[in-house]
Amino acid sequence: MGRREFLLKAAAGAPILALGSVYVLAGEDEDAKARAMKRPDGQPRLPPGQHVITKLKPMGGTPGEPGAKSYRLKVHGDVEKPFTLDFKQLLGLPQEEIEADVHCVTTWSVIGATWKGVSIATLAEKAGVKDTARHVIFEAAHGYTANAPLDEVVKPGNLIAHRHEGRPLARAHGAPVRALVPDLYFWKSAKWLVGIRFAERDEPGFWETRGYHNHADPWKEERHA
């Protein structure tokens, strides 16, 4: 189905069969309800130009190694104590379960999804991030990267997530581990995560070097550069 046809059908609340799953846009009433709700910062819960769907949509990409037994997460860069965690060690760190909305640059949003994982701030503290660090580079399988400002990434509610809606993260959504930075467009929440690098200088990632916005604030509709 072409993108235009998808959006027209979705806007009408029609069920859409995609990649073996049914995605239903919640419809104009649900969009209006979400926009009427306010976030703690006073902005509408649903950013402009977005529409609510009922579940995450796989957005492609090349999956990494799916096995938890062989998984490794490297935390490094401009830090005092770089380290590497296997999946069991990641689970041994303090865990957080949160409810968070996610917003895809292609205009869909999922409201009130539940996620579980380790706070990025916890990993930053464990690594001893240096005062010179200003940016975070999420490193994923096959060389994919996404960048974000350090001060935004270490805020509460940003996770290295391994569970979604009470279940282990699906492979299509980044299993075994993905980043979760809900206040930026969802491409910043890199799937199949293998590294977190703290850096003094910004390094635009895969999509940022292909015309997408370097910051990606959904409420400012920072979709493209």
What are the structural domains, with CATH classification, of the chain?
Answer: 50-220 (3.90.420.10)
Residue-level pLDDT at 26: 56
- Report the alpha-carbon distance of residue 141 to residue 62 in Å, rounded: 7
- Report the alpha-carbon distance of residue 11 to residue 51 in Å, rounded: 8
For tokens 């910051």, name the residue. 215
Mean pLDDT within 179-186: 98
Residue-level pLDDT at 27: 64
Residue 25 pLDDT level (bands cut at 50, 70, 90) = low
- Report the alpha-carbon distance of residue 29 to residue 123 in Å, rounded: 40
Instruction: Determine contact, residues 175/107, Cβ cutoff 8 Å.
Output: no
Instruction: Determine contact, residues 35/47, Cβ cutoff 8 Å.
Output: no
Instruction: Determine contact, residues 71/26, Cβ cutoff 8 Å.
Output: no
- Report the alpha-carbon distance of residue 24 to residue 46 in Å, rounded: 17
- Report the alpha-carbon distance of residue 205 to residue 225 in Å, rounded: 13
DSSP three-state, residue 25: strand
Whole-model pTM: value is: 0.86
Counting Cα atoms < 13 Å in the Cβ hemisphere of 206 gives 16
- Report the alpha-carbon distance of residue 42 to residue 177 in Å, rounded: 31
**pLDDT tens sequence across 114-163:** 999 999 999 999 999 999 999 999 999 999 999 999 999 999 999 999 99
**Contacts for 132 with CB less than 8 Å, ≥ 6 apart:** 78, 200
Smallest Cα–Cα separation from 207: which of 73, 100, 72, 60?
60
